[in-house]
Structure 1
C-alpha cells in the first residue's frame, strides 16, 4: 500500500495524532518557559488586574468582533452576492466564535458560515469564495500591521532569543509595506475574476482591497490591545513589539491546527516578551481567554438559545423559513461548544489549589470525606461533559438530559469542594441556556449513543491534557511521593489533583476501549423481503401510503432500536438513496438518518434524500445536505370532495360518458387477486408495449404477482373484460388512500381513468379515509427567477418547455381537476457536483439499476 493511499485510509487518525503531538510540544515549551513561575505568583497577578482593565478588555473585544462582521460584509460584496448586514454578521460571529475556541476554522467556522449562507440562497461555490475572501482579508491585515509595527519600532527586537537590529527590522517592515503597495497597484479599479484549479475567485478592486486591510488592521489592533491592557504595568509604547509577538502567536496557532491554539499561543506570547514578568503575561493570557474567547461564546449561545426558544413556539408555517432553520441549526452547535467549555472549566478547577479562606469557611460545617468526594466527582462530571457535549450537536435527547444534569451537579460539586461560586455560576448559566432550547433536542436515542465519536475524542484528550498540565504547573513545588495518592487532608490539594486526574484518565481509557472494540458489529444483512422481516410495526403507524413502497422488494431497511421507525433506502454506485420520509414516530427520524449518515460516511459514499416533505427539512439541514425543490404533491380532502360545482364539470362529463359506454367499477380484494392476475398481466404488457417503456423500480411498484397480491385492486371493466386497473394503497388508520401501479388498454372507453379516480375517491370517502393522494407533479412550483439557484432555473425551464420529454405541465393540469391541496417535496443531497452525480444514480436506480438485487430479494421471499 502506497503512502498516499495509507494516508487517505487513516487520514483522520494521522491528523489527530499530529495535532496532539504539536499540542504536547506546545505544553512542553510552555512548561520550560514557566519553570521559575509559581501558581501563587499568577494568582496574585490576576488579583492585581483592576476593574478598568477588565472593562477596557471587554470593550476592545466588542470592537474586534464588530470588525469581524465586516469581513463577511465586504467579502459578500467582492464576490457579487451582497446580503443584509444581519445575515453576514450572524455568519461571521458564529463562525469566528467557534473557530477561535476550537480551531479547525474550515470545519467549525466554515460549517457555520455554510449553514447561514446556504439558507440565505448562496450556492456552494459562492460560499467557498466568501470564506476564501475573508481569509485573505485576515492575512492582509496581519502582514500590513506587522510591516507597520516593524517600521515604527525603533529598538532592537528579541524574538525567542533571536536579536534583530533596529535597521534590519525597519528594512523588513518597509519591504512588507512596499509589497502590499505593489499588490494594490496591480489591482484594477473594479472586480475581476481569476481561476485557481477548478475554482473561480473574484479579486477586489483597489478601494475594496484598502477596505480589507483597514478592517483587518482595526480588528487585529483591538484584539491584541485587549490582551495588552490586561498585562500589569504594560504601556501603549510597547504595542508595536507586543503586536509582533501577538501576530506570530496567531500564525503559530493557525498553522499547528491545535484547537483554540491552546498551549501554542501562550508559549509564543511568553517567548517573544522576555522583558515582561512571565507570571504577569500568563495572568493576562488566562483573563484574555475568558474575555476574548469564552465570553463571546456565552453571548452567542444566549442569543441563539433565546431565538431557538421563540422559534419552537412559532407556528410551523412561520418557523420553517430557511433562515429560521439555519438559526435553529446553529443553536445546538454553539451550545455543544459551550457545554464543552463547561467541562473544561470543571477539569481545570479540579487541577488548581483551593482558595484557602473559602476552604476554611467550608471546614466549619462540612466533613473532609465530603470535600474529597465532591472534588473527584466534579472532575468526573467535567470529563463526562466533554464526552457527551458532541451529542448536543446531533440534537440527541439523551445528550441534553445528561448534560443538563451534569452541569447542575457540577455546580453543586464546585460549591461543595471549595465554594467556587464563580464556576458554579458559569455552569448554571450554561444549564439555563440549554434549558431554553430543550425543544431542539428531540431525537430519541440510547444513552450510549450520546457519547461523542472518535473524531471528538481528540479534543477531549487535549482538554484533559491541558487540565493535567495546569495541575502539575500549579503543584510544581510539591515533592511527589507514592503516599500522596491516599493522603487525605484539608491542605492536600496536590493529592486531590492526582486522584481527580487519575479518575478522568480511567474514564477516558474506558471510552477509548469502548470505541475501539464496542463498534465492532457484524455486517448488516442484505435487504430482506420476507413477510416476517419487513418493518411491519413501523408501517402500521404510518400516516402516508408511500410507506407501502417497502413491499416492492428492492429496498434496504434501517430500523430504530424499538422497531417503531424505519428508513427505506438503496445503494446505487456511491449513492445511498433514501425513499421519502422515514416511517414511524417523527421524534425517531433524526437518530435514524444520523445513523445512516454515519454508515454512508464509513462507506465513503454520498447520501441523497428523495421526495422528502417539509417535516424532514430541519434534519436534512442538520445533516449538512443541500436542498432542492423537486416538485409538489397533490392530495384531495375526501371529506370535502364532491362532484358538484362548475370546477368539476369536466370530471362529471368524463364520469358519465365512461358509464354510458359500459364502464363498470369494482374493488377486487387482495385475497381474490389470483383470479384476475392473468388478465391484469395482459393489460400491463399491452400498456408497456404501447408506451415503449420497461418496468421501473424503487420509487414506484412493478408488475409483480407477489407485490400486487398484498393489496386490493380497483378495476374498470367494459364488455366483461378489464380495461384498466390500479392497485390500492391504504394506511391502517385510514388517514390516506392512494394508488401505485396504474395500467390501461388503448381501446378503453373515453374518460376511463377519470372515472376510475372519481369512483375510487367516492369509495374511499364512504370508507372513512381522510385524504386521497394523487402523487407527485415533478418540477411543479419551482421558482425559476434570475437569482434562483441553478437547479431551480433548470427545473423551471424543463417544467415550461419539457412536454416533449415528459409532459410536466400536463400532469399538474390533470391532477388539478380534482381540486387537490398541493404540498412541496424536496431532494436533499451533497453539495456541488455530488448532487448531480446522486441524481444520475437515482435515475439509474428508478430505471431498474437494481433489478438483480430485487430479484434476489424475491427469491428470499
Structure 2
C-alpha cells in the first residue's frame, strides 16, 4: 500500500513538473482552443445570418455614425493616456505627458489587438519607460495602477448601468429584475468606495516583502476613476452609435454586455478577444443580427485596428526621423521611447497585413469587380488568389524575425507585402486591402535601419506565442470562409472547379495550401536546431604572445583552456575572450593587452553580440572596466573580492602567520616535500598528476569546468610550470602556476590533492610557493576571488546586495563562501573588488542565469 501511494505521488510530481516545463505551450494551446470555441459560438449565433446581409448592413451604415464612432474612439484613447500620467505621479516618477501618452497609447493598442495585456502591453510599456530611465519595479507599479483603475472603471460603469436600468435587465438567458439590478449596482459601488475610504483612513498601499505598491492620494484615486469612466463610456458609446435603432433605454444592457465581453476576452487570453468578444455581444444583445454583427465588425476596425495603424505611423515616423538625423540629435525622451517601441509595432502591423490577406482570401470577391477581370487569363486570377493566401501565412511566420530585428526578415517581409498588394488587385481588384498592405510596406521601408541583425528568417527559436497567434489567425480565416459559404453544399468536385466566379473552390484550395504551409513551417522550426552565433576569431600564438606580454593579469592564461571564443584587435596585439550560453555572450575577465585597445575590443564584441540578438555580460571584471560598463549601458554588480598578497611584505613572522607556521611545521613533520617542476618536466609526472586529479574530482563528485577555471588536459597542463607536494616519491598535491606577461603577478589555477592529506599540506604548498615567488622577483601573488565577499548588505543597499550578503552569511551548504574568505584571509591579502557587468531590466536575470550555467558547464 505504501509503495502504491508513493508511486502515485511520484507520478503526480512528474505530471506537475511536466506541466510547469510546458506551461507556455499549454497556455498557447488553451488560447487557440478558446479562440476556436469563440468562432464556433459565433457560427451558432449567426447560423441564420448570411454574408450578403452583413455586407448590406455595413453599406447602409450612415456616414455620420462612422464619424461619431471615430470621434468617440479618439476620446477614449485620449483618456487612456491619463492612466499612465497619473500613475507616474503616484509613484513619484512623473514624466512629460508626451512620453506617458506614447507609452500608454502603444501599450493599449497592442494589448487590445493581441491580448495577454501583461505580456504585450506590459512589454511595450516597459520598453518605452526603460528608455527614459525608469526601473522594472517602476513600470510594474504604473502598469498595476493602470490595470486596477481600468477594471475598477469596468465595474463602476457596470454598476452605473445597473442602477440606471429602467426595466428588467436581460442578457441572453440571464434575467435580472429592476430591484435586483439596482441593488447589485449599489453593492458594487459601495465595494469600489472602500478604496478611497481606506485611503482616507491612512492606508498607504500594499507591501509584499521588499516590494511596495503605493496607493495614490484621494485626488489621484478620483482622477483615475474619472479617467476610467470616460475611457469606458466613450468606448462603449463608439459601439452603441454603430448599432442602428438602439435607444437610451437599451444602453444599460449594452454597457453590461460590453463589460462582460471585455472580461471574457481577458480571461480567455485570446488575441484581441477576437471571436470571444463578438460571441458574447451577439449572445447577450437582442435585435437585428446582421446589423449587430456589421456594427461589431466596424467597431473592430475603428476601435482596434485603426489605432494600431496610427500608433505604427506615429512611432515609426519618430524613429525613422531619428535614424535620419545627424549624430547628436534625436536623443529626447520621446525619441528614445519611440526607438524602443518601433520594431514591435512594425512587427504587429506586418502580422496584421498577413491576417488581412488570409481573411480576404477566404471571402468571396465582389461580382462587379470580378467581372472587370475577365480580360485576364483565368490561371492568373486563380494563381493570384492562392499566392495571396500563401503570402498571408508567410507574413505571419516572418513576424518573429522582424521582432528580432533581422535584416533578412525585413527583406522577406517587404517582398511579401508588395507581392500581397499585387495579388490583391489581380484576384479581385481588392484595392482597399492593397492600400493597407502598401501603407504597412511604407512604414516598414521607412524604419529599415532598425533591422540590422544577422540570421535566417526561420532560424530564430520557436516562439509559441507567435505560433499560437498565427494559428488563431488561420482559424479566423477558416471561420470567415465557412460563414461566407454556408449555403454552398460541400462536394469533392469543388476542389477541381475553376471559374471566374468560383469563390468557394478557391477558398478550399487556398485554405488547404495555407494550412499545409503553416504546418510545414512549424514542423521545420521544431526540427531545426538553434542557430549558432558566429564562432569568433581564432587566437593565434603570435597574437596571444603579444597580448600576454603587455598584460598585468595572470588569469589571461584562461585563453588556453579551449572553451573560449575571441575578439582580436586590428593590430593583433590584444584580445578579448568570451563564451556563449544560450543568448548571453559572457566575457571572461578584462581584455588582454594594452589598455588603449580595450574600448575597441569591447565595442567590437558588443556589435557582434547585438547583430545576432544576444545579451552581453562580463564576469570577474576589474574596477578598470567600470567606465566601459557605463559607456555600454551595462549595470555593474559586485561579484566578490580578489585576494592579492604583496610578496615584498610577506613573512611568516608575527602573530598573523601563526596558523601558516603551524601548518608548514606539521607538513614537514609528516615527511612532505615541495618542488617546482618546469613545463619541460611536467610530461614525465603527468600520469601521477592525473591520478591525483581524478581522485580529487571523484571525492567531491565534481567534473571539469573550463570557463573560469582550467581543465586537466595534457595540452593545457604542459604549458605551465607546476608546484608539487610529494610524500616520498609520490605526488600527493599539485597546482599549475600562472604568471602575468609583465612578470609581476603570480597565481595558480588547478589546485588538487589526494584525500587523507596531512593537516596543513595546502598551507605548506602556498607558503613555499609564495617564498619562491619572492625569490624569483614577482610583485604579488593572486589568491583568486572570494565570491560574494565584501558586499554591503545595509538596509539602504539595493535588493541584489542584500540577497548576496544573506547568501554569503548563510549559504555554506551551497558553497563555502565564508570558509573560502577565511582561508584566504590567513595570508593577510589586499582585497580588490571584482564585478559582473549585466544588462538592465529583465535581461539581467536571464543573463545571470546563463552566467551560472556557463561557469558550471563541463569543460
Residue 828 in structure 1 maps to residue 839 in structure 2 = yes
Equivalent position of 1:769 in the other structure: none
Q: Does 1:420 align with 2:430?
A: yes
Corresponding residue of 2:818: none
Distance 1:289 1:697, change over 3 A: same
Pick the aligned partner of 1:281 from 292, 312, 332: 292
In the alignment, is the contact (CA less than 8 A) between 2:204 and 2:214 conserved in 1? yes
Match in the other structure for 1:589: 609
- CA distance change for structure 1 residues 714 and 252 in 2, over 3 Å: closer, same or farther? closer
| Cα distance per residue 1:562-588 (max 9 Å; x no partner) | xxx99822779x998444878968765
SS of 2:92's equivalent in the other structure is coil
* Helix, strand or coil at the partner of 1:448: coil
Classify 1:233/1:43 alpha carbon distance in 2 versus 1 (closer, same or farther; 3 Å): same
Q: Give the superposed CA RMSD.
A: 4.9
Shift of 1:556: 4.8
Post-superposition offset of 1:263: 0.5
> Which residue in the other structure is 2:99 paired with?
87
Q: Over residues 583-636 of structure 1, what are the superposed CA-to-partner deviations in whole Å (9 max), with x where a residue is unaligned?
A: 968765335454xx7xxxxxxxxx955579999999x99xxxxx41579xxxxx
String of CA shifts for 1:636-658, please: whole Å, max 9, x gaps: xxxxxxxxxxxxxxxxxxxxxxx
User: What is the distance in 1 between the residues matched to 2:387 and 2:181?
Assistant: 53
Among 12, 29, 32, the residue aligned to 2:24: 12
Check the 8 A contact 1:27/1:264 in 2, yes or no. yes
Residue from 306, 309, 319 that aligns with 2:320: 309
- Aligned to 1:553, which of 561, 576, 581? 561
Listed one character per residue, the Cα deviations across residues 142-177 of structure 1 (whole Å, up to 9, x for unaligned) are 111111101111122111122222222112112212
1:445 aligns with 2:455: yes
Contact 2:455 2:612 in 1 (8 A): no
- How many residue pairs match? The answer is 690
Superposed CA deviations along residues 539-559 of structure 1, whole A, max 9, x for unmatched, are 999999999887241745599
Return 5+ residue gaps in structure 1 as ranges: 526-532, 560-564, 598-606, 622-626, 632-672, 678-695, 717-721, 727-742, 754-785, 796-803, 812-823
Is 2:489 the partner of 1:482? Answer: no
Q: CA deviation at 1:387?
A: 0.7
| Pairwise CA distance, 1:112 | 1.2
- Structure 1 position 21, deviation (Å): 1.6
Q: 2: CA distance between counterparts of 1:234 and 1:78?
A: 40
Q: Flag the 1:183–1:440 CA change in 2: closer, same or farther, 3 A.
A: closer
TM-score when scaled to structure 1?
0.70
1:113 aligned residue: 125
The corresponding residue for 1:407 is 417
- Within-5 A mapping of 1:59-138: 59-138=71-150
Tell me how far apart the structure 1 counterparts of residues 114 and 540 of structure 2 sit (CA, whole Å).
40
Structure 1 residues 266-325: Cα deviation after superposition (integer angstroms, max 9, x where no partner): 001111111x21111111111111111111111111122122223323456656788755
Aligned to 1:760: none
**Closer, same or farther in 2 for the Cα pair 1:839/1:383, shift >3 Å?**
closer
Q: 1:485 to 1:537 in 2, by over 3 A?
A: farther
Q: Deviations over 1:463-506 (max 9, x none)?
A: 00000000100111111111111111121111111111011011
Which of 260, 267, 272 aligns to 2:284? It is 272
In the other structure, the counterpart of 2:513 is 503
Give the whole-Å Cα distance in 1 for the aligned partners of 2:627 and 2:121. 27
SS in 1 for 2:372: helix
SS in 1 for 2:85: helix
606, 630, 635: which is aligned to 1:628? 635
Matched with 1:204 is 216
CA distance in 2: counterparts of 1:385 and 1:407, whole angstroms: 8
Q: Given the two structures, how large is their TM-score scaled by the length of structure 2?
A: 0.70
Q: Provide the secondary structure at the position in 2 that maps to 1:444.
A: coil
**Partner residue of 1:397?**
407
| Structure 2: distance between partners of 1:613 and 1:538 | 29
From the superposition, tell whether residues 570 and 395 of structure 1 become closer, same or farther in structure 2 (CA, over 3 Å).
Answer: closer
The 8 Å contact of residues 336 and 393 in structure 1, kept in 2 or not, is answered as yes
Q: Structure 1's 444 and 570: CA in aligned 2 closer, same or farther, altered over 3 A?
A: closer
The alignment partner of 1:353 has SS state of coil
C-alpha separation between the residues in 2 aligned to 1:805 and 1:835? 34
Q: How does 1:798-809 map to 2 (within 5 A)?
A: none
Q: CA deviation at 1:106?
A: 0.9
CA change 1:55–1:260 in 2 (3 A) is same
State the alpha-carbon separation in 2 of the partners of residues 213 and 403 from structure 1: 43
Residue equivalent to 2:391 = 381
Instruction: Supply the distance in 2 between the matched residues of 1:118 and 1:705 (Cα, whole angstroms).
Output: 47
Q: 1:556 to 1:359 in 2, by over 3 A?
A: same
Which segments of 5 or more consecutive residues in structure 2 lack a partner in the other structure?
1-10, 568-574, 590-600, 639-677, 683-704, 722-738, 748-770, 781-794, 805-827
Task: Specify the alignment match of 2:381 in structure 1.
Answer: 371
Q: Is the 8 A contact 1:566 1:583 kept in 2?
A: no
Q: CA deviation at 1:90?
A: 2.1
| CA shift in 2, pair 1:22/1:714, >3 Å | closer
Report the CA distance between 1:252 and its aligned residue. 0.6
Shift in Å, 1:116: 2.1
Query: How far apart in 1 are the matches of 2:540 and 2:330?
Result: 28
Shift of 1:191: 6.4
Whole-Å separation in 1 of the counterparts to 2:630 and 2:475: 39
Q: Does the 8 A contact of 2:91 with 2:142 survive in 1?
A: yes
Matched-pair contact (CA < 8 Å) for 2:585–2:609: no
1:194 matched to 2:206? yes
What is residue 341 of structure 1 aligned with on the other side?
A: 352
The offset of 1:5, in angstroms, is: 1.5
Aligned pair in 2 of structure 1 residues 808, 70: CA closer, same or farther (>3 Å)? farther
CA distance in 2 between partners of 1:825 and 1:613 (Å):
10
Q: Paired residue for 2:267?
A: 255
Deviations 1:719-738 (A, max 9, x none): xxx77899xxxxxxxxxxxx
* Aligned counterparts, 1:348-747, within 5 A: 348-363=359-374, 365-449=375-459, 453-519=463-529, 535-536=537-538, 551-553=559-561, 555-557=563-565, 568-569=578-579, 577-579=586-588, 588-590=608-610, 592-594=612-614, 608-610=617-619, 627-629=634-636
CA 1:841–1:17 in structure 2 vs 1: closer, same or farther (change >3 Å)? Answer: closer
After superposition, the Cα gap between the structure-2 partners of 1:289 and 1:748, relative to the gap in structure 1 and judged at 3 Å, is same
Q: Summarize the Cα distance change of 1:507–1:746 in structure 2 as closer, same or farther, 3 Å threshold.
A: same
- Per mean C-alpha deviation after superposition, the further-off stretch among 574-583 and 104-113 is 574-583
Aligned residue runs from structure 1 range 765-844, under 5 A = 826-828=837-839, 831=842, 834=845
Task: Report if aligned partners of 1:443, 1:589 keep a CA contact under 8 Å in 2.
Answer: no
Residue matched to 1:756: none
More displaced 10-residue stretch of structure 1: 84-93 or 255-264: 84-93
Q: In the alignment, is the contact (CA less than 8 A) between 2:410 and 2:451 conserved in 1?
A: yes
